[in-house]
Amino acid sequence: MPGRPPVSPVTLQLLVQFEALIQERHVTRAAERMGISQSTMSAALARLRRQFDDPLLIRTAKGMVPTAKALELAKRARVALELLEPDRLHGRTFSAHESERHFRILTTEGLALLLAPLIAAHLRQHAPGVRLTIQPSDMRGTVESLRDQACDLTIGHILHPPSDLRKKLIYPQGACCIVSARHPEIDGRITLRQFLKYPHVVWGADETSYRSIETSVARALGNARHPLKHAIRVPNILIVPAVVAATDMIATVPLRIAREAAERLDIKTAQPPFKIANPDISMYWHELNHRDPAHIWFRLAIQAIAQAVREP
């Protein structure tokens, strides 16, 4: 029986085109990035598929998604390009004003509330053609999303990040309590008696959602052998301040969320009766994107933007 038809060797140019396809996950944008026609890039993808006997990029409702083999090949392609053309990789530049790159961030609703306006303003001023998608996440499944190139950055806290992820602290995060400005008893610092007396608002879509503050409170109360009254659970943190403003309930939230909400709603902040350990906020990205000039520019932009939301 006849075997597979012979295929020509993978050229340096084809490796570069493959890298663009994996990072852009879109044939037209990859072509624009390379300065070639869409038909030329489509032909390159077809050739790569024949060469590696794999679809490499699969079209889905969410766009083109790389296969497991494509992601593994991308790592090898990066090593090969580093060896064959180190000057190209380290010397190439990113023009923010001219770029039409699409960046994707996974983060929590609370962090999106704080960061999205600042990121949008920064992009409008410095990179008007760059597109941004911010997707909500409770931090589960983010490692896989970074590995699959489904997102460029995750902003939040990953408890034990694997070795193929890079990490950069962007700001420390404190926590405090919020209550209604008309609360009948609480003003300033909450006593343990008050903390246990009044019901609490907590958030998270289900019992397995990422809830570092709730866990910290539970541990503190567990050590004190006191149960906490959970009166209501809401889907996300953005609903919490409104519930607090309308009731005598207590909520424990990140400090920046509390202060932002206090400017809009009839609530006030209060110190909890014990120290609450709330993980610092970091951004994470995959090793595959570590040296990409556009990615470097975006990470530096996020670092600069995060300065505006650092705790005073």
The pLDDT of residue 82 is above 90: no
Average pLDDT rounded to a whole number, residues 209-213: 61
Number of other CB atoms surrounding residue 153 within 10 Å: 23
More confident residue, 59 or 285: 285
Distance, in Å, from the CA atom of 178 to the CA atom of 308, rounded to the nearest integer, reads: 22
> 175-270: which CATH number, 3.10.129.10, 3.40.190.10, 3.40.50.300, 3.40.50.720?
3.40.190.10
- Amino acid at the residue 281: I
In the chain, residues under CATH classification 3.40.190.10 are 102-172+280-309, 175-270
Distances (CA, A) of 156 to 82, 227, 241, 280, 283: 31, 28, 20, 8, 6
pTM score of the predicted model: 0.67
pLDDT at 278 over 80: no
Q: How far is CA 179 from CA 17, 30, 60, 82, 197, in A?
A: 55, 51, 45, 55, 13
DSSP labels, 193-237:
HHHHHS-EEEE-SSTTS--HHHHHHHHHHHHTT----EEEEESSG
Fold of 102-172+280-309: D-Maltodextrin-Binding Protein; domain 2 (3.40.190)
Beta bridge partners of residue 254, listed in sequence order: 175
Q: Give the mean model confidence (pLDDT) for residues 299-306.
A: 90
In CATH, what number does 12-91 get?
1.10.10.10
Check whether 280 has a pLDDT greater than 70. Answer: yes
Q: Are 33 and 98 in contact (CB under 8 A)?
A: no
Which DSSP category does 271 fall into?
B
Instruction: Tell me the pLDDT tens digit for each residue of 264-273.
Output: 999 999 999 9
Where in the chain do CATH 1.10.10.10 domains reside? 12-91
Q: Specify the range with the lowest mean pLDDT, choosing from 84-98, 107-121, 194-208, 260-274.
A: 84-98
Mean pLDDT, rounded, for 273-277 = 84
Residue 209 has a pLDDT of 43
CA 251-257-263 angle, to 5 degrees, is 100
> Two tokens at 191?
């006593």
Angle at 309 between CA 214 and CA 271, to 5 degrees: 45
Answer whether residue 77 shows pLDDT above 90.
no
Q: What is the pLDDT of residues 103-146, one digit of tens each?
A: 999 998 888 888 999 999 999 999 999 999 998 876 677 888 88
The 10s digit of each residue's pLDDT in 227-245 is 777 779 998 888 999 999 9
Report the chain's C-alpha Rg in angstroms. Answer: 24
- Closest by alpha carbon to 251, among 286, 217, 284, 224? 217
The chain-wide mean pLDDT, for the chain, equals 83
Residue 23 pLDDT level (bands cut at 50, 70, 90): confident
pLDDT score for 91: 46
Please write the tens of the pLDDT for every residue from 7-22.
556 777 888 888 888 8
